[in-house]
Chain A
Amino acid sequence: MHSTVTAIIDDLSQVIFGKKTQIKLALTCLFSQGHLLIEDLPGMGKTTLSHALASVLGLSYQRVQFTSDLLPSDILGASIFNSNEHTFTFHKGPVFSQVVLADEINRAGPKTQSALLEAMEEKQVSMDGDIYPLPTPFFVIATQNPLYQSGTYPLPESQLDRFMMRISLGFPPKKAERKLILGANNRDSDALPKRINFSQLIDIQSETKKVTISEPIVDYIIELVSYTRESGVFANPLSPRASIAMGKAAQAWAYIEGRDFVTPDDVQTVFKSVAAHRLGIDEQTSELQIKQLLNAVPVPL
């Protein structure tokens, strides 16, 4: 099964050049059944990555471009009067798909944002007293522009918390950019081979959960989390939900790395992606702050 994972990573590297770590982090998030937030400047390949992810994993895919006039019903769907049958029928919105790409999520107003985020948490949509379950697996890959850009509505902390990880792609290395200019990439991510089917994905997810997470690792996560609570450096300390996410992400990362046990290094690798947005640290400054934090907390032996 691990060879499949390697193949997926290779495929995705065909689309996004020189960003292997980010690809692996994105997969980590999906394998541990979390929603992913990609924050970056426009034109960095956020949408490409998410689209490619859906194709490679063989999942149904819907993209919603968030704008300031987007309404909740545009995402969730609406009950429309059927004049033939004299009844209201529910027309499912784009959220009813396995992978939802919420592009530029912070361009929509809070009402619309929370409609999506509610669906993310409950994995169902309730409309006019009826409950419509969302498909499984259900991933939301949201992209957002840095908050300093104009026309953005920042996601509230409570909703940021629902994203398991936040990653940022960053500028490509020069070599990769050269390839991009020469048109070497296959931008048509639909052309990517479908590597796994639905049941295989479920297998991977269950195997991820079996990765051994030993006592010292649990200690380490607890130490890290309690440091954010006790040091007084952070305004929004990490919640227990963050601790759970950290454990799951570390397991998934270890799985992707081909191991069946978690090491502290795994925790360190996923820490920034899991913690930074919950701590309310900007993507721009997070590198240094997270480094300091990791330096301040000794690794349990």
Chain B
Amino acid sequence: MPNVHNEKAINLTLSIVYGLVVLFIMSELTLIFTALLALLCAWNFTITLMKKPKPSTLYANILAALSLVLLLHDVGFGDTVTLFVAMLILSSLFKLLQAKTKKHYQTIVLLSFFSLSTVYLFSQSIIATLCVSILYVLNFAALALIENKHSLKIASKQSGKMLLLALPIAVFLLLFLPKMPAFWQLPGPKLAKTGLSESVNPFDIAKLSRSDELVFRAKLSINKPPAPPYYWRAIIHDEFDGTTWLVSDLLKSQQRNKTSVKDAPQFESQYNIIAEPSSKPWLYGIGQAYSTNSDVKSTEQGLLIRKRYLSNNINYEVKTSSFNDSLLNKINRYQNLTLGNSELNNVQSQQLALSLYKNSNNDSEFLTALTEHFSNQGFAYTLTPEPMTGGNTIDEFMFNNKRGFCGHYASAAAFMFRTVGIPARVVSGYLGGELNEQDEYLSVYQYDAHAWVEVFIKGKGWQIFDATAVVSPERLTGSLSQMQSLNNEFTNNLEFSLLRFNQIPGFNWLRLNLENLDYKWTNWVLGFDQQKQSSFLKRLFGNSQLWKISLFVILTIIIIFISYFVYLNWPKKAMLNEHLLATHYKEIQFWCAKNGFNQKANLTPLQYLNLAREHFTEKGSLFMQFAQLYSDVRYKGEEFTPQRKNHSYDLVKSIKTKAKRSL
């Protein structure tokens, strides 16, 4: 194409940029659709490299229509965010396939700024940020290539420099521009592929151990909770329907209605948690947790619930106290064994529980007896249990299979506690975490998901009963990833992840360091929320009004920009002592250009003035006089006397004003 200088380079760059964007949001799309997008990138890449013509408009449009059908069928309207992101990328890619003129490319490059930013909807990690920044550089380079004859290398260098220049402004804005509450927010991200769910069917939650996604990080430096194991509670399941543990409507409504805990009880420990975005509002804490964060609701049961902004990281402070004993009157709900006909199921387990109970004098002894049962009867911990089906899954697990993981043990134990009338509930959350000793924080991943039982022992209150601990004690400290015995099973179970290479020493070091970097990124950048900022600003400005600070920040930015543009347009050194006549000549040129007299060619002043004289015939004499004056002073070397100076001023003025009259 004659009017686009670097079409090849632009096409290749944009293909690569889009290819990488597709790679980033791959996990949000279905395989077929991802393949389609990748194919479009590859197509454009190949036809550019092989110098083949672009597909005809009709052909491309038919393909686009078909792809749209696939998009609607594949992604559907359920998740509008993903739908629109997919549509944006799809349309940009098709446009790229058909692009021919400068205008087309400009549109695509501008669109791809949006496409690039959509990556942040799904991931805000430091790696994603770095990669997207590089893509921004490439995109800016492509934009420059449309206008210039530069090579891609030079253009990228320049745009990289520009982005680096923008970095201080970004930091400044992040620190100082007061964060406003969002006017609107995206629907929660589609993260439900992993994560805890309100219903625990122990026989199908093994999936969680397949994900190495980060759930939250806990900074323990303030006032450490007592030694591990750390049971991070997230959800209490108080209702059993025979196979699955659920959150009862009663509990839900309690949690929905009001913040039951108004004042901080005596707390034993205090720590900070930075939770990643999640599709569910549950947050994490140890024991009876309580938080002062305004975005976090603390419930009577010591759970924490996120009030809004599920798609953001949240950084909150948690205080943990021992379980509240004053709620004795409410515990009978946890004795309720079943709903419906489940009393008829799992009879063997019920009998076992009753017989154990008969032999013990009190609840505590029953607890010990059950523990012993689990440890002596050949139970084993595994991440890949055989599937159990039917109505008597607990019996099957307790007597036949005896292999399972936390969910199985928790479910079975809670069932047996309730059989004998001891209040019990299944709690799901996370156990342990990977400790970073240098910065004293724990990283908890999805594969650390855990379920355990809380039993109410009279006189002692709620106690944690974790049958897993008996079967596999090493699970209690540290993270699942650090367990030697399960290592093979664990890594095989996991989807692709850096953890697979844990055995290679360098790799583990690298992984831990990357992890630490990401922690710092999350803590200092993503975690710099409204609260942190306002306390920071308060420390800096005292108790100024928010609008004053905003005004200050915006003014500063404006001043920075104005001074930058003044600097850009500041006459170069040689032009600093520019002759007054040269200035006047430029003014005249500017005026002429404004009035429709454009000269592309590089004319000498006298040629230009002569042409202008012919163009603006009604003030030809003025141009002639100026040309005379100019050549006298600039070329003939005559003195630029005050008279001549005034003459020049007058001429410029009358050239300009006469036009106004004629208009």
Contacts and interface: CB of A to CB of B under 8 A. Distances in A.
Interface of A: 212, 214, 216-217, 260-265, 268, 294-299, 301
A212 B635 CA distance: 7
Given A301-B579, A301-B582, A301-B586, A216 B635 contact: yes
Interface string B591-616: 00000000001111111000000000
B634 interface: yes
B602 A263 contact: no
A265 B582 CA distance: 17
B635 A263 contact: yes
A232 B72 CA distance: 55
B495 interface: no
Given A294-B602, A297-B602, A301-B605, A262 B635 contact: yes
B606 A264 contact: yes
A212 B636 contact: yes
B657 interface: no
A299 B585 contact: no
B578 interface: yes
A297 B578 CA distance: 18
B637 interface: yes
Q: How big is the B interface, by class?
A: 10 to 19
B631 interface: yes
Contact of A217 (B579, B603, B635): B635
A217 B636 CA distance: 11
Contacts of A214: 634-637
A299 B605 CA distance: 8
Contacts of B579: 301
A-B pairs, top 6 by smallest CB distance, nearest first, are A301-B582, A264-B604, A261-B636, A295-B602, A261-B635, A299-B604
Nearest to A301: B582
Interface string B141-172: 00000000000000000000000000000000
Contacts of B607: 265
Contacts of B604: 263-265, 268, 299
A260 to B, nearest CB: 7
A262 to B, nearest CB: 6
29 contacts: A212-B636, A212-B637, A214-B635, A214-B636, A214-B637, A216-B634, A216-B635, A217-B635, A261-B631, A261-B636, A261-B637, A262-B635, A263-B604, A263-B631, A263-B635, A264-B605, A264-B606, A264-B635, A265-B606, A265-B607, A295-B601, A296-B602, A298-B602, A299-B603, A299-B605, A301-B578, A301-B579, A301-B605, A301-B634
A217 B604 CA distance: 11
A301 B636 contact: no
Nearest to B632: A261
A260 B601 CA distance: 27
Q: Is the interface of B mostly helix, strand, loop or mixed?
A: helix
Given A263-B604, A264-B604, A296-B602, A301 B635 contact: no
A294 B602 CA distance: 7
A161 B603 CA distance: 28
A295 B586 CA distance: 18
A156 to B, nearest CB: 33
Given A214-B637, A264-B606, 17 more contacts: A212-B636, A214-B634, A214-B635, A214-B636, A217-B635, A260-B636, A261-B631, A261-B635, A261-B636, A263-B606, A265-B604, A265-B607, A297-B602, A299-B603, A299-B605, A301-B581, A301-B586
A60 B650 CA distance: 56
Contacts of A296: 602
B585 to A, nearest CB: 6
Nearest to A296: B602
Nearest to A220: B604
Contacts of B578: 301
B223 to A, nearest CB: 68
Interface string B631-652: 1001111000000000000000
Nearest to A293: B602
Contacts of A297: 602
A298 B631 CA distance: 17
A192 B582 CA distance: 47
Contacts of A298: 602
Contacts of B634: 214, 216, 301
Contacts of A295: 601-602
A295 B600 CA distance: 9
A298 B589 CA distance: 14
Nearest to B602: A295
Interface in B73-116: none
A217 B606 CA distance: 13
Q: Which of B579, B603, B604, B607 has the most CB of A within 10 A?
A: B604
A265 B605 CA distance: 9
A55 to B, nearest CB: 34
Nearest to B630: A301
Contacts of B635: 212, 214, 216-217, 261-264
B602 A299 contact: yes
Contacts of A294: 602
Contacts of A263: 604, 606, 631, 635
A94 B397 CA distance: 123
Nearest to B586: A301
B42 to A, nearest CB: 37
A264 B636 CA distance: 12
Contacts of A264: 604-606, 635
A263 B605 CA distance: 9
A216 B632 CA distance: 12
B633 to A, nearest CB: 9
Interface string B496-509: 00000000000000
B581, B585, B635 interface centre (most CB from chain A within 10 Å):
B635
A214 B630 CA distance: 12
Given A260-B636, A261-B636, A262-B635, A301 B585 contact: yes
Among A263, A268, A295, which residue has the most Cβ atoms of chain B within 10 A? A263
A295 B579 CA distance: 23
A26 B384 CA distance: 99
Contacts of B586: 301
B606 to A, nearest CB: 6
Nearest to A267: B604
A268 B605 CA distance: 12
Among A217, A296, A298, A299, find the residue whose CB has the most chain B CB atoms closer than 10 A.
A299
B145 to A, nearest CB: 20
Contacts of B602: 294-299
A264 B578 CA distance: 17
Residue of A216, A261, A296, A301 with highest tally of chain B CB at under 10 A? A301
Contacts of A265: 604, 606-607
A301 B587 CA distance: 12
Contacts of A216: 634-635
Contacts of B637: 212, 214, 261
Interface string B556-583: 0000000000000000000000110110
A296 B602 CA distance: 7
A299 B634 CA distance: 13
B539 to A, nearest CB: 54
Contacts of B605: 264, 299, 301
Nearest to B610: A265
A275 B455 CA distance: 100
B627 to A, nearest CB: 10
Nearest to B633: A214
A208 B116 CA distance: 67
A299 B637 CA distance: 17
B246 to A, nearest CB: 77
B634 to A, nearest CB: 5
Nearest to B581: A301
A294 B585 CA distance: 20
A203 to B, nearest CB: 21
Interface in B179-199: none
A185 B7 CA distance: 58
Interface string B353-373: 000000000000000000000
Nearest to A254: B635
